[in-house]
Amino acid sequence: MKLKFAQTAASAAILAGIGMAGQAQAADLTLCWAAWDPANALVELSKDFEKESGHNMSFEFVPWPNFADRMLNELNSGGQLCDLLIGDSQWIGGAAENGQYVKLNDFFEQEGISMDDFIPATVAGYSEWPKGTPNYWALPAFGDVVGWTYRKDWFERPELRQEFQEKYGRELAVPKTLDELKDIAEFFQNREIDGKTVYGAAIYTERGSEGITMGVTNALYNYGFEYANPDKPYELEGFVNSAEAAKGLEFYKELYDCCTPPGSSDWYMSEDIDAYKSGQVALQMNFAFIWPGVNADPNVGGDKSGYFANPEGPGGHFAQLGGQGISVVANSANKDAALEYIKWFAQPEVQKRWWQLGGYSALKAVVEDPGFADSQPYAQTFLDSMAIVKDFWAEPAYASLLLAMQDHVHDYVIAGNGTAQEALDKLVEDWTEIFEDEGKL
């Protein structure tokens, strides 16, 4: 009750002060996010806000492996480190229900900020709680999605194209299906190119945080996996562990077994990047945030690399949503200034510059601009990918849900224990128990 009262009182104070935001004294704002290339772009972008507002910006960037623990501890402890937080999409439920984020509906309405102006999938993924309702706790800040990078220069070699054509009866080209992707990965596995042994694909296998879940879902979704009965929330049996979903899990294990580099049993974003940039693999699974860095890389950048959306499977065509929204932390002592930042960041001209600097804007005015698709070599792939996204649970208990999936999937795919069906059956048991404890069942 105290949390709800405190949030209501804070919200009222915020709304009373919004009209005077332009006259407010200079504040020292701290924005918290993960430590990665887009964060560096945001530092550059935010210099314009400092000039226009008179506020001072500081940044707390935490490496991805420690980001969730560090920031969720900060929120749960009622700390005041962060005025603004670009939090992961899965946190939205817990942060909203625990009164840790400021609800932004009244602010958006007063400032003329419409969620209709953003890519629908990012609004649903980064801003809404409960899902499917117009209750907003964040502004879409960084659109991201799992996609693929490939060695375009290798694909274009005449001798490899001829060999692939003879073996598979089709051209060596961007795969349209997951089966075609696996064929390509097998074709390159243990092949010698320029005197060096190379491998098929770098995929997500990491167990400690979220890695293998963010990877395997790109197969599961496309074989028919559902988080629950679409007509009955939290009914898991026959949807999470359907026969089709088990086939999707089997596919991911086959891809790992046949076509990945030695020692890649615990890889996530940085390991995949390193393997690709060092010339070890023909294909790389990774979030779209890496593409500007790949494009600029002296070894694999420019025309040497290409990009494609996650291919379809026999049961659908989806890709795992990444990305984050930006929220005002309810315990901040600088809410008015933090809201000024949100208002500034939402402007179309700021969002255009965000894209130019290497950020991934979710604003329709940016991504639907006629010149957007040709603005970068990966821009069209970003659009194609964001059109097919699906996300993991954003429930308050998401951490427990994620841990269960990490354990069961990794135990089957990497350790080779049991069957795919058994792994998903166990997952249903764990998730059911979690939802029962939450009072959802």
Q: What is the pLDDT of residue 24?
A: 54
Tens digit of pLDDT for each residue in 251-283? 999 999 999 999 999 999 999 999 999 999 999
CB 410 within 8 A of CB 210: no
Single-letter residue type at 101: Y
Alpha helices, H only, 103-242: 105-111, 120-122, 152-155, 158-168, 178-188, 211-223
Domains parsed from the chain with CATH numbers: 2-143+323-390 (3.40.190.10), 146-320 (3.40.190.10)
What is the band of 6 on the pLDDT scale with cuts at 50, 70, 90?
Answer: very low
Q: Does an H or E element contain 28, and which?
A: strand 28-34
Q: What interhelical angle do 398-413 and 243-259 show, nearest 10?
A: 60
The amino acid occupying position 121 is: A
Please name the amino acid found at residue 209. Answer: S
Dist. CA 151–CA 304, nearest whole Å: 6
CA–CA separation, 173 vs 170, rounded Å?
Answer: 8
Q: Report the predicted TM-score, pTM, of the whole model to 2 decimal places.
A: 0.93
Adjacent-strand bridge partners of 197 = 192
pLDDT tens per residue across span 244-256: 999 999 999 999 9
Amino acid identity for residue 244 in this structure = E
**Average pLDDT, stretch 426-431?**
98
